[in-house]
Structure formats: C-alpha cells, structure tokens
Amino acid sequence: MKKIVILISGRGSNLQALLEAHLSCSIAAVISNRADAEGLGIAKALGIPTAAVDNRNYADRESFDAALAKSIDAFVPDIVALAGFMRILSPGFVARYHGRLVNIHPSLLPAYGGLNTHARALHDGVKIHGCTVHFVTPDLDHGPIIIQAAVPVLCDDTEQTLAARVLNEEHRIYPQAISWLCQDRIKLSDEGRVIFLYRIQSGFTLVSPSLE
C-alpha cells in the first residue's frame, strides 16, 4: 500500500476531504509549516503522526526546504500532497519529489495562478471558474494537470460565494486524483503530460450560461 505525506498551513479542509475519502493508501503523516495549524489537530485526533517545521526558524527558503524534506523523508512516502500549503518551494525540493508531488489550486490552470484567484476571476468577468489538481514543478502553478472541475460564475456571485462553490469541487477532485496515484492509474509522459491508464474519457461540453 502506498504512503502519503500531506503538507498543510492552515485549517485543513482539503486534508479533511482526503481523510474522509477512505483512500486505498496509508496517510503516513501530516506536516505543517505552522505549529498552530488547525489541520494538525484533525490529524492528531485520528492518530495520524504530525510534525511542524516552522519556516520562520530558517534564514532562507533553501534551508527551510532542506529541513522540510528531512521531516518528510522520515516517513518514506510514495506521494507528497500539498493541501493548502502556503509556501513556494525551491527548485531543488521540487526535483527531489518529481512525479510524486501534487497540489490543489483554486482556479482552472493555467489561468489565475498564485493568490486571490476568485477575486481576479470576478474582475475579469469569466463565466466558468474552478479548480485544478496538478503535479508540482518549479514553474509556480503550471505543472502537468491531473484533473479539473469547473463551476459557473453567477451574475450575483461574490468572492465568498464563488470560493465556496469552488471549494466544494476541490473536496471532490483531490481525493480522486490521489486515488488514481495510489492505484497507479496515471503516469507522467517524457513530455510532461499526464497519461490516464485504463480509463475512457467523456467528451461532453460545458457551457455557462446554458444555451437556450
């Protein structure tokens, strides 16, 4: 059975979704860059090992990443999942876990990488927004895409209502992506594209607003 280490920085809603999904793999540990992250308490309550590696205790990103990698490697994971982990990782760290490091991002990448994705989508007037699970590469929020979910942007949406709709989809697609990884149902090609094994993809169209 494959082992996962989950990295968090805060309340851990995507962590909670992964825990509730009853994945066909073992969650070896939950690690945070903040000792007061709420998600650590969720993991501890379930008997999952936890650790905190505070980035504020390190002089630069590389030294923090080295300490974080040491903590991760102690659990010998097959997959490292970022679930609301709010640190930009160094190229060396990303290379160390190539093909094993995944992230959930609240936009339809490659659109709206970085922060404030929902506000930017509303500002631009897009009609479809969503979330993406992708492999992590040194190019921030631009790694090979595993799965996406799209939601309509409604005319009366606020940043909060749109964020809630997207978050609901995050909680659906992240467990699915991790499940595929645990079952070796996807792989990265030499060209950096995600290849699906043993799966037929549908070809329906999503339109928003809907056609009359």
Residue numbers annotated as active site: 105
Sheet with 128-135, side-by-side order of all strands: 50-52, 26-32, 3-8, 79-82, 101-105, 128-135, 145-152
